[in-house]
Chain A
């Protein structure tokens, strides 16, 4: 298993549980459905939700304040549905941590961050084959991007506008 954010590897503080009542710590990562239906939640618990693939963002919005982590599952590297789910969560105002979980490839790391994820969790063979350096190098490989609304203020159109402004001034 490999857990990384833009600064490098991280320790996973979250305990995975199928049901809240099974948890032994107070950092509990459970399926969103289990959180919604549980009456074992106490105020001192930190909650992380694993979103099922068919879950609409509207279902989750009322729980934003209670969720410190949302984990979106990528069934394969080729299935980029989760990038749009992340965008919708951020657009709807979710401010907690967002994790992409699945057999991603290192070239997708910058894409995940741009779409609003904070971290990626890679499991199994994909984690074994791709060491930490690959993920960190992937962040530096493409230094410019055209899209204006993907997490950064220095998109190519913004930089062009700044250059034009500097010339005009």
Chain B
């Protein structure tokens, strides 16, 4: 994992002092509230319904044990004993006090962390495949490039005052687990067909929110050395030509859509041709310096199969279920990437208590070379686990209520904080997630349904990624009451798709029944081996729509 050098450290420390000065100047009246707002946001500080919220960057989801322990300490001393992991792999504290914020930023800097650009109209936290470095299907580890982009985009003098936020993701495997088509800019590591040389496919103009769009290819193959100059060109065209007359039309996806991808590409290529690449591009030695932090840990030579694990599984049906759902195929024999679900039955998706943070930190240190990952599905991952150690890890997770065996199943629900916390929300998300989780609590039933994703957002900004859920739920406000629209068929992966609307909105209490009806259609109609999304693709919307209509008609 990357470690700060003296320069990274100094930048973060100076930024903390800069923010303290901005707060002082606001209090003294040198800055108006309107001027201070974007400065506060660029330091991750939101004003929510009941208090401030502080959003901490977890770049490309990578964390060390020491960092998670520090987050636990902050949760205990400056918040309410828990934190919330988001779909951008950040951690939010929902009960921050303004006076504590500079101290908290200092504590974060002590463990090489910060809140820089976790909000505001700038380049946001860079995300990557959460199985980076360990996935069986990886072409190349995306983390060095993600770190290079993180550094380059931090406090960028030209791009800190964009028309709107700008999100970048990097994927480096055959399968896209970083949802790059939902990003303003997606970077996919590819190999040139002829030379075998690694380079990048660049996608642009993806996004969810009120106008969901899939990213399109901007450049099929970009030579590795040109990455930063090319991103600079794309961002400059956006900064110059993007709309600023309407907040809802200010993302790059609208510019790409209104200009057309061909004309937009021509603009970017023209700008790219003008840039002095010897200066703009990263020094290859610098990428190599960063990459050196991401070399493989000292793995042991292990047999492919763990007898110890097999024997333990034979005796323990719960462990067996956990192994079936929470382990991901590792590139190294005898190892696995183990997902810790933050979706206990009836819980709040993504929430974790300070005690749980410390327990996970201990496990990371003892069993996973001191490293863990945050996934955009709001779960944690121990990336380097020996199969032999799984029974022991499982037992310890169980003692902390962290052993829910539901990764990728119907109760592994993605949800934004919704109207329980968020000032933008139009409806609550968490109670809907909890009701669904309780409805499908039975592990046997979950296993029978198999792989399916439910994603819930409490407003059209779509932080819960509802458009790309196999089942997506969007909470709106209709005549003073909460109303939930359900879509199906969304897919964040290689067959990227936005969901289609089933029918009119429902009151919250009808949502579990409606989801049950939709799932029942799948269970009745599926052919052998088909997942929910595969059955949907074969059958289309119609049978699901008619099952849904029965509920909607009663609700109306």
Interface contact B157-A107, CB-CB below 8 Å: no
Which residue on A lies nearest to B158, using beta carbons? Answer: A83
| A161 interfacial contact with B, CB 8 Å | yes
Interface contact B160-A80, CB-CB below 8 Å: yes
Chain B residues near A131 (CB-CB < 8 A): 30
Partner-binding segment picked from A4-12, A18-26, A42-50, A138-146: A138-146
Min CB–CB distance B151 → chain A (angstroms) = 5
Per the 8 Å Cβ criterion, residues 101-130 of A in contact with B are 105-108, 110-112, 114-115, 126, 129-130
Known: A83-B239, A144-B11. A129 touches B31 (CB 8 A): yes
Interface residues of A, count at CB 8 A: 44
How many interface residues does chain B have, given as a range?
35 or more
Interface contact A111-B157, CB-CB below 8 Å: yes
Chain A residues near B22 (CB-CB < 8 A): 107
Chain B residues near A77 (CB-CB < 8 A): 35, 38, 161
| B556 interfacial contact with A, CB 8 Å | no
**How far, in whole Å, are A105 and B39 apart by their CA atoms in the complex?**
10
| A59 interfacial contact with B, CB 8 Å | no
Interface contact A148-B279, CB-CB below 8 Å: yes
Min CB–CB distance A158 → chain B (angstroms) = 8
| B473 interfacial contact with A, CB 8 Å | no
Interface contact B240-A141, CB-CB below 8 Å: no
Partner-binding segment picked from A30-38, A62-70, A84-92: A84-92
| B302 interfacial contact with A, CB 8 Å | no
Chain B residues near A110 (CB-CB < 8 A): 157
| A95 interfacial contact with B, CB 8 Å | no
Interface contact A164-B18, CB-CB below 8 Å: no
| A134 interfacial contact with B, CB 8 Å | yes
Which residue on B lies nearest to A56, using beta carbons? Answer: B240
**How far, in whole Å, are A77 and B30 apart by their CA atoms in the complex?**
14
Interface contact B157-A134, CB-CB below 8 Å: no
Which residue on A lies nearest to B156, using beta carbons? Answer: A147
Interface contact A80-B158, CB-CB below 8 Å: yes
| Contact for B14 among A81, A88, A143, A156, CB less than 8 A | A143
Chain A residues near B244 (CB-CB < 8 A): 79, 81
Chain A residues near B10 (CB-CB < 8 A): 143-144
Min CB–CB distance A89 → chain B (angstroms) = 12
Interface contact B280-A145, CB-CB below 8 Å: no
Given contact pairs A84-B240, A160-B5, enumerate 5 new A-B contacts (beta carbons under 8 Å).
A79-B161, A83-B158, A111-B157, A142-B15, A146-B154
Q: Top 6 A-B pairs ranked by shortest CB distance?
A: A80-B161, A114-B157, A149-B279, A111-B157, A84-B239, A156-B7
Q: List 19 A-B contacts (CB under 8 A).
A: A78-B38, A80-B158, A80-B160, A81-B239, A83-B157, A83-B159, A83-B239, A87-B236, A115-B157, A129-B29, A141-B18, A142-B11, A142-B14, A142-B15, A146-B152, A149-B275, A149-B279, A157-B282, A161-B283
